[in-house]
């Protein structure tokens, strides 16, 4: 998971593949430290203390709080969506198929809770 970000000058293209792959530069300012922290915070890696310290060193304590709050909010939203199901209408399913496949989104565990709407 990558925390939502934008390029520093607003003109650079962002690479969405960098949100799901650590070996690709997303184009997000501080993307590496953000991805490291978010991966650790959701349990993908076991270096949460070191990742949090790196985030604090690079971006400051306010960023640590903002990132932790953002992760907590996304966790809450995912639990609500999983609990009630995640509808995906046919237009959205068709239009998003290419990038969902490219990012591997259909392989996420929450995909089990997505259902089709005509």
Four-residue CA torsion sign, 61, 62, 65, 70: negative
Give me the pLDDT at residue 7, please: 47
Give me the pLDDT at residue 14, please: 76
Query: Is the Cβ–Cβ distance between 28 and 34 less than 8 Å?
Result: yes
Give me the pLDDT at residue 78, please: 80
Q: What residue ranges do the domains of the chain occupy?
A: 1-84, 85-118
Query: Is the Cβ–Cβ distance between 64 and 55 less than 8 Å?
Result: yes
Give me the pLDDT at residue 2, please: 41
Intra-chain end-to-end CA distance of the chain, in Å: 30
Per-residue pLDDT in tens (0 to 9) along the chain, 118 residues: 344 444 455 556 777 777 777 788 888 889 889 999 999 998 888 999 999 999 999 999 999 999 999 999 988 888 888 788 878 788 988 888 888 888 888 887 777 777 665 5
């Amino acid at each position: 998971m990558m925390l939502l970000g934008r390029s520093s000058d607003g003109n650079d293209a962002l690479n969405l593949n960098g949100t799901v792959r650590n070996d690709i530069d997303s184009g997000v300012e501080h993307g590496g430290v953000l991805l490291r922290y978010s991966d650790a915070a959701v349990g993908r890696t076991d270096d949460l203390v070191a990742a949090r310290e790196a985030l604090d060193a690079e971006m400051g304590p306010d960023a640590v709080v903002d990132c932790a709050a953002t992760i907590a909010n996304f966790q809450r939203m995912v639990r609500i969506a999983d609990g009630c199901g995640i509808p995906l209408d046919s237009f959205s399913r068709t239009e998003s198929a290419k990038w969902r496949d490219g990012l591997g989104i259909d392989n996420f565990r929450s995909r089990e809770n997505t259902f089709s709407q005509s």
